[in-house]
Amino acid sequence: MDINTLCVHSGNKDHSNGAVSMPIYQSATFSHLGVGKSTGYDYSRLANPTRTELETIITKLEYGYDAMAFSTGMAAIVAVMDMFSPGDHIIASDDLYGGSYRFFNNISNKNGLRFDFVDTSNVDNVKKHISKDTKAIFVETPSNPMMHVSDIGLLSELGKENNILVIVDNTFLTPYFMNPIHLGANIVIHSGTKYLGGHNDTLAGFIIVDSEELSEKLRFIYKTVGACLSPFDSWLLIRGIKTLAIRMEKQQANAKVIAEWLTKHPKIKNVNYIGLETHPGFDISKKQGRGFGAMISFETDLEETAVKLLENVQIILYAESLGGVETLITYPMLQTHADVPQEEREKLGINEKFLRLSVGIEDYEDLIYDLETALK
């Protein structure tokens, strides 16, 4: 079945009364049919019919073995890290969402995990850091916010050779544009708050796994920690995913035009968009995905230009997050990456002139006019 159809029709659905929309089972607990008898639902922390519908959809979209829906994307990452033990070593992309970096360097380190942050777009960098204690490679591709592209296939081969899990955060491209499990990854993570929800109205996270073994480990953590997605929020995600395909196509089309426009503006120094043929990861992106997404980052000529742009846009909203139908612009050094030490931020290129743009579904000419006016 084509992914456009899967977005609309990939769930089990509840057709017992002819409902086209999956009901919201707003129940914390479920009655038993008798001693030792269950409908399959006992308590909503363990499972809920609305959430199961959503997890079925995500499993099919990512071609996984199982999927779990969490209260946030960070809750999903926390659950994955809970699989590891003190002394375990993890290789992670050096350009990561600031919340992931904060969690790894504070909570995970406190719990005894060790991290090396490397440029995972260069497989040789990853090879150099593998040790007998290495248990996983954690990758964002494209990365947040520098848009570095890692070759999931090559990293997955490296993982299999060394019995190392490959974990891919697929938030930026979504299962509509890329399927990391097809490329050899073991675990896929999403912030469902972003493109999967698509409307900036709820928080959610997902873990998708490629095997029964990983499913059992993570479902145990899932039910024990209890950071599961509520029935109503599950329903919002089901509704959001129905329009994922058309949103992603429109947002990508807008992003391509805007990225090309930014490259020609005299006050813009560098533009990072993986759909530009000049991007160093362009060929890898074409090889491992079906599209380039709608995330752009860029550097202005001066700090004053960046601040002026943020304070003068009218249609574009100066706000954190990404992936919704509204175009959002973010100042990473003060927002998403504020907890990354200044020296490390600047080494990556995240400075006072650096901005990130999540392109929405508005008319691209209006968005360009908004940027052009704010830059004057």
Phi, psi of 263 (to 5 degrees): -65, -20
Annotated catalytic residue within 51, 60, 135, 194 = 194
Annotated catalytic residue within 66, 169, 210, 370 = 169
Reply yes or no on whether 45 is catalytic: yes
Tokens found for residue 4: 């456009």
Reply yes or no on whether 363 is catalytic: no
Q: What is the 3-state secondary structure (H, E, C) of the chain?
A: CCHHHHHHHCCCCCCCCCCCCCCCCCCCECCCCECCECCCCCECCCCCHHHHHHHHHHHHHCCCCEEEEECCHHHHHHHHHCCCCCCCEEEEECCCCHHHHHHHHHHHHHCCCEEEEECCCCHHHHHHCCCCCEEEEEEECCCCCCCCCCCHHHHHHHHHHCCCEEEEECCCCHHHHCCCCCCCCCEEEEECCCCCCCCCCCCCEEEEECCHHHHHHHHHHHHHHCCECCHHHHHHHHHHHHCHHHHHHHHHHHHHHHHHHHHCCCCEEEEECCCCCCCCCHHHHHHHCCCCCCEEEEEECCHHHHHHHHHHCCCCEECCCCCCCCCEEECCCCCCCCCCCHHHHHHHCCCCCEEEEECCCCCHHHHHHHHHHHHC
Annotated catalytic residue within 97, 101, 222, 273 = 97
Reply yes or no on whether 318 is catalytic: no
The dihedral built from the CA positions of residue 362, 365, 369 and 372, taken in this order, carries a sign that is positive
Report the C-alpha dihedral over residues 329, 62, 120, 262, rounded to 10 degrees: -30
Phi, psi of 9 (to 5 degrees): -125, 25
Reply yes or no on whether 364 is catalytic: no
Annotated catalytic residue within 45, 102, 242, 269 = 45
How many Å apart are CA 102 and CA 334, to the nearest integer? 14
Tell me the catalytic residues. 45, 97, 169, 194
